[in-house]
Structure formats: structure tokens, C-alpha cells
Structure 1
């Protein structure tokens, strides 16, 4: 307490000066319209800037929750859109899809906790596992397109074989042309992928969208794989040399959706039985 009193005694002249300055400022503001308006406008300007900075900081701290909420909303929209498309496929008017078939795809949102893009065979780790109903063989997509397929799981985590993998193939279809080929990464650029097995007799257009075809049980048909970037000719081949811009940007992948095909096991069991009988 004595030290505090000594401080005020030593600084009494400076403290008196500050108090007199504040008092003078107060009288100037209250006795002059010009300075009063100037003070009001200036104080409001700086108060607005401070408030804007405070709001920006507050919004930034809530971005993680906002992203999580958006991912959950996209999960619900994906499920609704897929069910709608499966219930009204491109088919003769008299064809009616079975309700179980139309509702066979289920989506589970997950956060990416590890991701590689620099290797010939790349993998992704997510924070959902068998406790969340994830199992090997399920497809994985992002908000913008295809990602890969679940390779292995434990209770809380799963490892995904990325589409950026030298041995991963995806049955894909050109939207405008309607032709089906195979999308495969060539191990060079993580933003590009090849589309093979499209005949030279077919007129492929640059910019055409390429989506998952109906001839696989892992993904719903119509999930974007990429868009045609270049169309060339393979030497001594009867197929186009097609390069796609990948729909998914793997360098900033945050949330993914694991796709469960409820009828996949039933379909594959029957197909395996037929192969055995041949």
C-alpha cells in the first residue's frame, strides 16, 4: 500500500496534467458543435472498426462448427437426391423402381484426419469406423465428387484407398456421349485422371462431365468424377487418350461421405454364385 502511495506522490504532476487534459477535452466537446460532431463521427468510426474485427474473429472461431453443420446438411441432401434419382431412372415409362432399390444408398459424414497425394498409391484416414457402421468396400465421395473406397477399419478410424492410386479403377460414363469407360489415375498429377476404353469412333467433347456409371455396386450412379480436359489419340490403339480434371480437390479435403449400398452384399453374392456355376 505504501508503494502505491509513493507512486502517486512521485507521479502527481503527470497525473494532474492528464486530468487537466481530459477536463479540457470534455469542455471543448461540450461547448463547440463542430468538435462535438467531429468527436461523435470519429468515435463511431473506430467503434465500428473494432466491432467488425470482433465479429470477424468470432466468426473465424466458429468456422469449424459451421463446416461440420454444412457437412451434415450435405449428407442429408445427398441421401434425398440419390433416392430421388434412383426412383426415377432413365428407363421406359412403364418401369417402376422397387422402393428398397431406390433407397439402397445410405451416407455417413466423416472428417479427414490424414491424406496423402504425393505417392503412386495414396490413402486417406477418416475419423469413423466400425462403431459408426463403416466397413471395407464402401464407397467414399466428397461434396464435389468421387474420393475412393474403404480399405480397412477399426472401431474409430477407417483407411480409404484414394482414387489417386495406381490400381484403383472406377467405371465411369461420359454424360453427353453416354459411353462407359474406366477412370484410372496415371500417378503423375493429383488434379488429373485418365479415362480409358472410349472408342475412337465416338466424338468426345472437351468439357463433358464424367460420372460414375450404373455398372458398379460401390457408388450411386451420377457421382461426378471429373470433366474432359484433353482428347488425344493413343499410338497403335483404337481408344481415345482422354484426360480429366478431377472433380475432387484432394489438397484441401476436409469432410467426406461414406456410401453404404444396403443391397451390395446381396447383389455380389448372386453374381459370385453365377460365376461359380460357369
Structure 2
């Protein structure tokens, strides 16, 4: 039996527009440049956009992996040589907007042969409370909740964590505050969310770090390149690097537990 060393990470948010996909891409870039093979999977099954951020036009997508008989090697696209790979989703495919338990089992079956190649599996989830988002979030070992200082982001992220905690027993979350003007605003946003979770849900999410508002990030989006590649000295790039270091420390601490666990937890058929 092969010992697992792959840390599965879901990147999620209560509302759209908080920079979740950019964070997933740039964190992945950082970790890969640090010597860690990583598979990044676009799990926004209705409105995929990782391929747009990368300036790619994939020939095959998750649709082909699940319904077209393709293997992971047929579908995975290298972002960089040496183990930074990407599985694109298909936009506007109604048959895959939500995955039932049979489709989730099939996905695990198709993905599992490749897990041993990677130190990390990143799932970039859609925003909100859809059954597929909740399922993927519950399946991973680590959950990164992306928030901004906006009240709607805090409210929606609290609702997301509440549903996962009360209905599915998930109570461990790591928070990243994005688009803060400064460290004070970043800390205020985190503390408001943490205080609500502590008071009403009985747990406190961990603070993983903040990413300051930086005009270099939308410029990288326009160029369809990761910020870590176009401007690694930008303030936001420095913040993302610091978060990547913390995430790698977390993986190192979890390695003994990972060895005894599957990369993605299978959910009961009636869980969703």
C-alpha cells in the first residue's frame, strides 16, 4: 500500500469576486517553484475561468474525464514543466454543474492514479453554497476560505462555514483576507468573521494570511499570466509567497496524518 503524501486543499468563498481563482493559481505557482509538484483543478463547473487566467484553450476538460472516457493524462495541461498541472472545467455544461454521489465516485476513481505524483491537490471551487461546492469542500483535508473586507463577503463566508459545520461536521477552516488596503483592515475583517464563528458556531477559523490590494494583480490578469511570474516583487506577490510558506509548514505538520488518510475523503451517497 502506497503511503499518501498529497495534501488536498479546497479554495472557496461565500461570494464571487473575491479573487479566489487568482489566489489558487498564484499559490500553486509559488509552491511548485518551491519544489512541490501540484495539480490544480478547476471545480467551478458552471463558470470555469482558470483557463482564461492562463491564456489557454484546452482541447479536453473535466467533462471528457467524467463522461468522455478520457484519462487524467489526456486532460491535464502543464502550466509549467516539472509537475504543475491543470485540469480545466467546461463552462456552461449543464450536465456537470452539479455532481451527484455517483459522479463524485467516478471522479475519485479517475483522479486517484495520479495523486502520488503530487505534493498538493488544489480544488478551485465555485462561490456560494451549491451542493457540489459543499461536497468538494468536505472531501479535502484543508479548506482555504477567501474573504475581502466587504460586509457581504464576511456574511456569505460565515454562512458557508455554518452550513459545512452544522450539516457536514466540518469545523476546521483557514482564512485568507484579500484586497485589504492595509494590515489593520485585514485584521479587522478576519476578527469580525472569527468572532462570529466563535460566538455562534463554537470554533475559530485560523488566520493564514492577508493579500494587500495591489494594481499589479489586475495587470497580471490582463496579461493572462500568474502575478508570481510577471511581478514577483509586488506587494501582493510577497503576501502570497508568505501564505505559501505557511501552507507548506502546515503540510509538513500533517504528513503523519496524511499517510493514514485518502487524498480526498469519500462522502456517503446521501450526504448531499
TM-score by length of 2: 0.23
Q: If you compute each CA radius of gyration, which structure gives the higher value, 1 or 2?
A: 1
Structure number with the bigger relative contact order (C-alpha 8 A, sep ≥ 6) is 2
Indicate the structure with greater helix content.
2
Indicate the structure with greater strand content.
1
